[in-house]
Amino acid sequence: MVKTCFTYDHDWQTCPVSIIPVSRRGPDKGFFAKQASFLDEVRANLKPRKGYTPLFVYAMGAGEHFGANRNADYWPQSQTKVPIYRPKDAQHKVAEISAGLRECAGTFVTHAKVYKDHKNHDPALASGDIAASQYNEKMGRVEAIPFVENEKWASELTMIEKGKFTPFSMSARVPHDICSFCGNKAKSRAQYCEHLKKHANMISENGHQIVAINEKPLFIDLSGVKRNADRIGYGLAKVASEGPVKTGAELAEDLGIHCPEEALLSISDPKIKRRLEILQKLSAMEKEIEAAAAGLEQKNVTRSTDPRDQRSLPAGVSSIIQSSDPSKAFRALSQEDIVLPLRSFLSLFLPEAEAKHASLIKEAQRALRGCYDRIRREEDLESFLAGQLYQSDNTTTDELRKAAGLLRRDYSLHADAVSQRIARSIVDHKDAPRIQRIHVPCSKRADLLAREYVKYQITALENASPNQLKTRIHLTMLSNMV
């Protein structure tokens, strides 16, 4: 889950962003003393950089010192136990926080960069980095020193020099948050209880403020924000009569902020990491095949997915699979190393859609082109790749195994089945099938269907061995493109 908060979420009694006066000898001696900062190491090592300006930012306030922010987020200062007001059962009496701002402030340096308006999906868009970040024990806040590019930040730097308010906001990924009222633990906003959905930041009749308790934040960006985003932030301070306050998670969704791939690869559980790596390889393989096609290098391997030799799904096979538990059916297909192409996947698992929306299916086939890159740019990858998706069961049935065996000839990625398809295509057809290079804009419905199919492809490939994976991704991608 990604959260966003603004520098003005707390009343700091002073401007939370200022320019650090620094020369070749180091920063002005009185600056950090005036700020009551404890960044001792930075005082000794901070040097000017050509084309950059160092800023001093009050990034976050600890809940023990400042309470919850306007987004209804409570950020504990350290590992602790927070009592839950009215726990829903005995297991939710206490929120056990494994790490807070003290332990995690350094992730600003290791994982975050400086961006404009949280456009952090591509590190190339960064306009600075964060030289230091530390939790100030006395002041109860996280302090950060970003270096920003003078050319890209000229207008903001001018405002800061004049003492005018310049809004910044931070984004952090948390593994989950906990409702302070009932103890519900949520990995995404979809799992929120009614308290955080409808009553965030409100105070109950007995004086308890309903907030989301966060732990183990990994900071992923520090952004300057324009007035359009600024207005969203100011709107967080609504009174109860005007509607529920937007939580930090909802605000992050509104602003389209996602956890960068580099951060996910470093912190996610093994399953999400594996799926992300497959998505990256699918995206790279599509570019590789398209580059070969553009150079008219049509290789014989394209015959392995020759659509001219693929038969219609046997009626008996379709009925067996459609009447079975899908997870057991996926298990049977997995045992035969089968990754179904889009049309066959829909024919088996969404037969009504395939029958009623034939034109949409054709459009979804076209929408697959470039879909992998679009997903990486536009989706919250942690949410997209989480959950069971199209996971197979550990068991299946003899009937399903037999049905999957009948599909082996046309769809298995096992080496012997691929070799047989290539030989059959060479015998039956003079020319290999061609890579389609036509890119046609597709509807939102077709794009959504393509994205859902990508989830199936990823989960169908995730159990392949390292030696098999590249070849199987290549063959899977070709089935999209011929």
Compute the distance between CA of residue 90 and CA of residue 77 in angstroms, rounded to an integer: 25
More confident residue, 43 or 201: 201
My answer on whether 343 and 357 are in the same domain is: yes
Confidence of residue 416 (pLDDT cuts 50, 70, 90): very high
My answer on whether 174 and 275 are in the same domain is: no
My answer on whether 73 and 133 are in the same domain is: yes
Question: Which residues 6+ apart lie within 8 Å of 212 measured at CB?
Answer: 72, 73, 74, 177, 178, 179, 180, 196, 200, 247, 248, 249
Question: Which residues 6+ apart lie within 8 Å of 58 measured at CB?
Answer: 7, 10, 12, 16, 17, 141, 142, 143
More confident residue, 19 or 356: 19
Compute the distance between CA of residue 461 and CA of residue 198 in angstroms, rounded to an integer: 40
Percentage above 70 pLDDT, the chain: 89
Confidence check: pLDDT of 365 > 90: no
What is the per-residue pLDDT for 236?
41
Range of 460's domain?
Answer: 268-481
My answer on whether 251 and 394 are in the same domain is: no
Q: At CA 170, angle to CA 164 and CA 176, rounded to 5?
A: 155
Average pLDDT over residues 100-129: 91
Among 219, 248, 265, the domain-final residue is 265
My answer on whether 286 and 428 are in the same domain is: yes
Give Cα separations from 325 to 167, 353, 452 (angstroms).
53, 19, 19
Compute the distance between CA of residue 219 and CA of residue 252 in angstroms, rounded to an integer: 13
Q: Beta strand pairing status for 17-19 and 212-214?
A: unpaired
Predicted confidence (pLDDT) per residue in 373-396, tens digit: 999 988 889 989 987 788 888 899
Compute the distance between CA of residue 313 and CA of residue 344 in angstroms, rounded to an integer: 8
What is the per-residue pLDDT for 142?
94
Predicted confidence (pLDDT) per residue in 268-290, tens digit: 789 999 999 999 999 999 888 87
My answer on whether 147 and 13 are in the same domain is: yes
Predicted confidence (pLDDT) per residue in 167-181, tens digit: 889 999 999 999 999
Among 219, 247, 265, the domain-final residue is 265
Compute the distance between CA of residue 220 and CA of residue 120 in angstroms, rounded to an integer: 8
**SS3 at position 248:** helix
Confidence check: pLDDT of 223 > 60: yes
My answer on whether 318 and 408 are in the same domain is: yes
How far from each other are the two terminal CA atoms of the chain, in whole angstroms? 38
My answer on whether 433 and 300 are in the same domain is: yes
My answer on whether 234 and 373 are in the same domain is: no
What is the per-residue pLDDT for 352?
65
What is the per-residue pLDDT for 206?
85
Give Cα separations from 263 to 213, 216, 385 (angstroms).
22, 14, 14
Confidence check: pLDDT of 230 > 50: no
My answer on whether 275 and 378 are in the same domain is: yes
Among 234, 265, 296, the domain-final residue is 265
Average pLDDT over residues 362-374: 89
My answer on whether 248 and 332 are in the same domain is: no
Compute the distance between CA of residue 37 and CA of residue 326 in angstroms, rounded to an integer: 58
Mean pLDDT of the chain: 85
Predicted confidence (pLDDT) per residue in 39-83, tens digit: 566 666 788 899 999 999 999 999 999 999 989 999 999 999 999
Compute the distance between CA of residue 331 and CA of residue 401 in angstroms, rounded to an integer: 9
My answer on whether 244 and 274 are in the same domain is: no
Look up residue 482 and give its two tokens. Answer: 């011929």
**Tally of domains in the chain:** 2
